[in-house]
Amino acid sequence: MAKRAFITGITGQDGSYLVELLLEKGYEVHGIVRRQSSTIRPRLDAVMSRKDLPLDKLHLHYGDLGDGGGLVRLVGKVQPDEVYNLAAQSHVRVSFDAPEYTVDVVATGAMRLLEAIRDVGIQPRYYQASSSEMYGLVQQIPQTETTPFHPRSPYACAKVFAHWATVNYRESYGMHGSNGILFNHESPRRGETFVTRKITLAAARIKLGQQKRLALGNLEARRDWGYAKEYVEAMWRMLQQAEGDDYVVATGETHSIRECLDVAFGAVGLNWHDHVDVDPKYYRPAEVDLLIGDPGKAKKKLGWEPATKFRGLIELMVEADERLLRDQLSGKPIWSY
């Protein structure tokens, strides 16, 4: 009998790649989507366009992490073997503008989902999407599973709560709960307001004459960037272990926004200095200057390590964005690559 997975945040970057992975592995996949007037979901449309996947095993349900009663009903109906909590208001800068909403979705939403599982009385394996942003003002370089957290945004504070809630339910109720402390992970499916995608899309647009300037904030910030499509494999592997645990998922390398600009604009034969402006409105009230993860535990216990490193990732994204824009110009059907 096929395993049954339940995913929150299924319409996001990670959710869409996880759907593909699980369908390829023979899972029956259930996900919750919020009720909206538009049913256009570009990332899931990319999945639905694949004729090689058993799409009859993908089921979408209306729901929201703000609705605890609805979560209880859905978890009871689906009876999942595995639960992946990926839903979030995940834009760090936006979390300063909408802190209460961010905390309600990210922190209290995770608690509602954990309680729904407990109320229904089942014992699925549970994955919580933790974040490298929890380290904030870093206390150790590189960051490991035992590095103390010092969050520097409402989003990061909410993620710390959800992280420790998962540990608490693991220790209090014997739940098979795992936290994936994922460092920045990108792809052609990344939202257009996130800095890497903002850069790769701008480089492609400027190359094709569709944009003239790009405005960014802090160019000195350094991050550990990996490929989201590979990171969802680590999520799945966590839930195949005998016991729940916490894992850093990262490349072990750190690169600056300037380096990202070098690679992205270089890929289209341009000098970013001719096209980029620094705008203070994009600065965060409290900045995170440097993140770099140590994925040693994930490699040792999960057998996972990244195949795509920084340069290859950014070049992959620029190529996909160029292809996307050319398809738009030619009138071809557009999918999120």
Instruction: Summarize pLDDT for 19-56 with one digit per residue, the tens.
Output: 999 999 999 999 999 876 567 788 888 888 888 999 99
d(CA 234, CA 226): 12
155 pLDDT above the threshold of 90? yes
Whole-model pTM: value is 0.95
For the stretch 113-143, pLDDT in tens is: 999 999 999 999 999 999 999 999 999 999 9
**CB-CB contact of 197 with 186 (8 Å):** yes
Structural tokens at position 246: 């916490």
| Residue type at position 309 | K
Confidence of residue 335 (pLDDT cuts 50, 70, 90): low
pLDDT in the model for residue 42: 81
| Residue type at position 52 | D
The residues carrying an active-site annotation are: 131, 133, 155
d(CA 314, CA 329): 23
Task: Map residue 30 onto helix, strand or coil.
Answer: strand
Long-range contacts at 34-41 (CB < 8 A, ≥ 24 apart): 34/62, 34/63, 34/64, 35/62, 41/11
**CB-CB contact of 204 with 273 (8 Å):** no
**CB-CB contact of 43 with 16 (8 Å):** yes
153 pLDDT above the threshold of 70? yes
pLDDT in the model for residue 1: 81
Q: Average of pLDDT values for 148-170?
A: 97
Those residues whose C-beta lies under 8 Å from the C-beta of residue 26, and which sit 6 or more positions away, are 2, 3, 54
pLDDT in the model for residue 329: 86
For the stretch 240-276, pLDDT in tens is: 999 999 999 999 999 999 999 999 999 999 999 999 9
Q: Average of pLDDT values for 212-218?
A: 95
pLDDT in the model for residue 334: 60
